[in-house]
A and B are shown apart, each in its own frame.
Chain A
Amino acid sequence: DGGITQSPKYLFRKEGQNVTLSCEQNLNHDAMYWYRQDPGQGLRLIYYSQIVNDFQKGDIAEGYSVSREKKESFPLTVTSAQKNPTAFYLCASSRRDIQETQYFGPGTRLLVL
């Protein structure tokens, strides 16, 4: 898991509620990523950020939002517009100069009540 922390480990969401997942890294990495993993499937990219105050949509950004106000932090908000949010959410980071090498956090499991 390196120097990437995610919290909480488990999160429960009620219908119509927005929830925010935390991701922090102390690796001095420039780039950060959010992925969604459904049971028995691969990882799908939600959002990524290559530098502070800038981020781009991935393949499944609808219903999610992010911010990148600090280099160390890349929180993900799951909004009420995301109709099927139950999944395992993984945050990753990488150095800008070898950007492709990504290191992952331990993940947050989101469940809908």
Chain B
Amino acid sequence: GENVEQHPSTLSVQEGDSAVIKCTYSDSASNYFPWYKQELGKGPQLIIDIRSNVGEKKDQRIAVTLNKTAKHFSLHITETQPEDSAVYFCAADTGRRALTFGSGTRLQVQP
């Protein structure tokens, strides 16, 4: 089955700095890679996703890059703000049409 590894598990940055979270996946047939943000006690919310036919996607301060050859994808957050503090999860689709999630990254943005 699909295995998704996510690093780092915790990340602390100063407000205004950039944050990068990286994930690797094992199933070369995967072609959909979403990123979710989860605030304490709430359900995850989709923040950006990318499909295998593109290498990069941007939405304001958030960008995702995908390297299918190396089977890894990354989330980039620029000009971080305190409200970006949360747990971020990457995921990849599997042949069962369900998602396999990484273990999460707790991002803390220091004011």
A residues near B, CB below 8 A? 1, 4, 31, 33, 35, 40-45, 48, 50, 56, 58-59, 90, 92, 99-107, 109
B residues near A, CB below 8 A? 1, 4, 6, 32, 34, 36, 41-46, 49, 89, 93, 96-104
**A-B contacts at CB below 8 angstroms, number:** 59
- What separation, in Å, do the CA atoms of A106 and B38 have in the docked complex? 10
A31 CB to closest chain B CB (Å) equals: 7
A110 CB to closest chain B CB (Å) equals: 14
Closest B residue to A88 using CB positions: B41
Q: Which residues of B contact A56 (CB under 8 A)?
A: 96
Q: Which residues of B contact A106 (CB under 8 A)?
A: 42-43
Docked-complex contact B46 and A41, CB < 8 angstroms: no
